[in-house]
Amino acid sequence: MRILFATSEAAPLIKTGGLADVSGALPAALRKIGIDCRVLLPGYAVIMYKLEATRQIARFDQFLDAAGKPLAARLLQSAIPGSDVPLYVLDAPAAFARDGGPYQDAEGLDYPDNAHRFALLSQVAALLAGPASPIDWQPDLLHCNDWQTGLAPAYLRLSGGTTPSVITVHNLAYQGIFPPSALAKLNLPASSFSIEGVEYYGNLSFLKAGLYYASHITTVSPTYAMEIQQPHLGMGMQGLLAGRRQQLSGILNGIDTDEWNPAADRHLNCEFNARAMAGKKRCKQLLQEELGLEPLDDAPLFGMIARMAHQKGLDLVLAVADGIIDRGGQIALLGTGEKSIEAAVRVLVERHPGKVAALIGYDEGLSHRIEAGSDMFLMPSLFEPCGLNQMYSLRYGSVPIVHATGGLRDTVEDGVTGFVFHQPTAHALWLAIERAFELYPHRPAWKKMMTAGMTRDFSWENSARAYQTLYQGLLPTEV
C-alpha cells in the first residue's frame, strides 16, 4: 500500500507544535508495518540545508506566484533525516524560502500570501496523487493534515482524480480562512465557492474544503472526534462534521518512544526508568539548578510546556499559581506565543523569584528536562485534540493534572495515572492540584501513580495499525 502524507511541518526538520511530532513519527510507524508511506513538505529555507542526498525529480512550470507571474517550482526527493521515510520537497523559493517560521514572519505576523503558499502545496499534493503525476510513484491514497493541505482533496476531486483521500484534523481552531477574492488566484473553479464546496460563512476555508471533499476525516483522539460534532467545540464546523459522522473517526496519536525515553534521552544527564527511579530525583535537582529555582528536594515541582495560546488554559494556571507557591510548590514553565500571555507569565516570575521560573522561547532540550525533572505536569487546556505532553509526562513520571477534554480525557486516568478535572475553571483546576498536594507526601502511593503512568504503552504501533485498517477500507480493492 502506498500513502502520500502531505503536511506543513515534520520533526526533526520543522516544528511549531504537535503536528510536526505526528508527521515525523506516523509515516515511520506505517513503514514499519509494511506501508510505503512518503511525506510531502514545503521547501522552507530552514529545512533545505538539513537535507541529505537530494535530487530533483520533477519541475513544474504551470504555477503562478501571488502577483500572477510564473513561479519557479520543482520537486526534490530526499529522506526525513534519521529515518528511512522518503521525503518529497516542494522547492518553490518565492513561496517558501523566507526568514521566519512556516506561517509567520519573525515578528509573528502571518505571511500575507499564506493562501497562495498553501494552495500551491495542496495543488502539488493533488497532482502527485492524481493521474497526471509527473513522477513514477503513484500513491493509493492521499493523507492530508490540517488546513494547510486542506485544499488538496478539493483539487484532486475537482480535477476528476479518483484516488481516495483522508484529512486529519489536528486542531479545528485553525481553519485557513481567506476572503472570497482569494479564490481566483488559487486555480479553483468559481462553482466550488458554495456550501457544497470550499465556501464557509461567506469566506473561503481551506479546512472546510478538506472536510467536505476528503473521502474520510480523522482526528487525533476518539473524544475529540465526538466533541467537534457539538456546537461547543465544533467551531462552526459541527454541522458538516456531524453530517459526515459515518466518515469521521478518532485515532489517538502515539508518541515517539525513542525520542521520549527517560532511560536514554540525549537531553538528560540523569536517566531513569520505572524500576530505577533515582535518576528522576537527580533530574529535579538539575532542573532547579538550570532554572534558578530553590534547591528544595521536597517542594512539589509543577511543569508546563505549551504554545502560549488561549487553548492551553494558561490563564487558569496564572490564577492558581499563588496558591501553588503558598502550599510550598514550585513552577517551571516553557512556552512562547501570544505576547499578552508571555507578559503575564513574566510578571508571575518576578513576583516569585526562586519559586516560579519561565523560559519564554522554544527549547527542545529544556522541554525534555522539564518532563524529567517535574513532579507534576499541568495541562488545563480548554480543548485539546490529542495533546502529546501529557503522554510524555506519563512516560517521564511527571504526574499529569489535566482537564477532561479531547485526548487528555482519553490518555489520563483519574486517580490512577494522574488527576483529571471536569470544568475548565481555575477552581476545578485548583481542587485537582490540592488532591495532588495531598497525595504527594505519601511516597508509596505517589510512586504507584508514577509507575502506573510510566508503564502505559503509547507507542505508535497501535495507531499505525488503526490507520492501516482505515486506509484499507477506503481503497477500491484491498492492496
List contacts with ligand ADP (CB under 6 A). Answer: 17-18, 21, 305-307, 334-336, 362-364, 367, 386-389
Q: How far apart are CA 314 and CA 60, in angstroms?
A: 45
367 binds, among ligand GLC, ligand ADP, none (CB under 5 to 8 A by kind): ligand ADP
Strands (E), 123-176: 141-145, 165-169
Nearer to ligand GLC, 122 or 171 (CB): 171
Q: How far apart are CA 479 and CA 475, in angstroms?
A: 8
Size of the site for ligand GLC (CB under 6 A): 14
CB of residue 203 vs ligand GLC: minimum separation in angstroms? 22
Q: How far apart are CA 207 and CA 168, in angstroms?
A: 10
Tell me the residue type at 61. Answer: D
CB-based contact 406:223 (threshold 8 Å): yes
220 binds, among ligand ADP, ligand GLC, none (CB under 5 to 8 A by kind): ligand GLC
Sheet containing 55-60, strands listed edge to edge, beginning at the edge strand earlier in sequence: 55-60, 73-79, 86-91, 36-42, 2-6, 141-145, 165-169, 216-219, 248-250
CB-based contact 393:450 (threshold 8 Å): no
Nearer to ligand GLC, 72 or 404 (CB): 404
362 binds, among ligand GLC, ligand ADP, none (CB under 5 to 8 A by kind): ligand ADP
From residue 406 to residue 425, the character string flagging contacts with ligand GLC as x (rule: CB under 6 A) and all else as - is: -x------------------
3-state helix, strand, coil in the chain (%, to 5): 40, 20, 40
Nearer to ligand ADP, 127 or 402 (CB): 402
Residue 253 binds ligand GLC, judged by CB under 6 A: yes
207 binds, among ligand GLC, ligand ADP, none (CB under 5 to 8 A by kind): none
Q: Which of residues 210-229 bind ligand GLC (CB under 6 A)?
A: 220
334 binds, among ligand GLC, ligand ADP, none (CB under 5 to 8 A by kind): ligand ADP
Enumerate the H helices of 270-363 as residue ranges. Answer: 278-291, 314-326, 339-351
Residue 17 binds ligand GLC, judged by CB under 6 A: yes
Nearer to ligand ADP, 123 or 389 (CB): 389
Residue 114 binds ligand GLC, judged by CB under 6 A: no
Query: CB-based contacts of 342: which residues, under 8 Å, 6+ apart?
Result: 308, 335, 336, 360
Residue 400 binds ligand GLC, judged by CB under 6 A: no
Residue least distant from ligand GLC (Cβ): 18
389 binds, among ligand ADP, ligand GLC, none (CB under 5 to 8 A by kind): ligand ADP
Residue least distant from ligand ADP (Cβ): 18
Q: How far apart are CA 224 and CA 421, in angstroms?
A: 17
Tell me the residue type at 73. Answer: A
CB of residue 71 vs ligand ADP: minimum separation in angstroms? 30
* Stretch touching ligand GLC by CB under 6 A, among 14-22, 39-47, 53-61, 233-241: 14-22
Among positions 170, 216, 368, 369, the unique one binding ligand GLC when judged by CB under 6 A:
170
Strands (E), 259-409: 301-305, 330-335, 356-360, 376-379, 399-403
| Structure-block grid coordinates of residue 182 | 482569494
CB of residue 407 vs ligand GLC: minimum separation in angstroms? 6
Residue 386 binds ligand GLC, judged by CB under 6 A: yes
Q: CA nearest 236: which of 178, 174, 145?
A: 174
User: Where does this chain bind ligand GLC (CB under 6 A)?
Assistant: 17-19, 22, 170-171, 220, 253, 384-388, 407
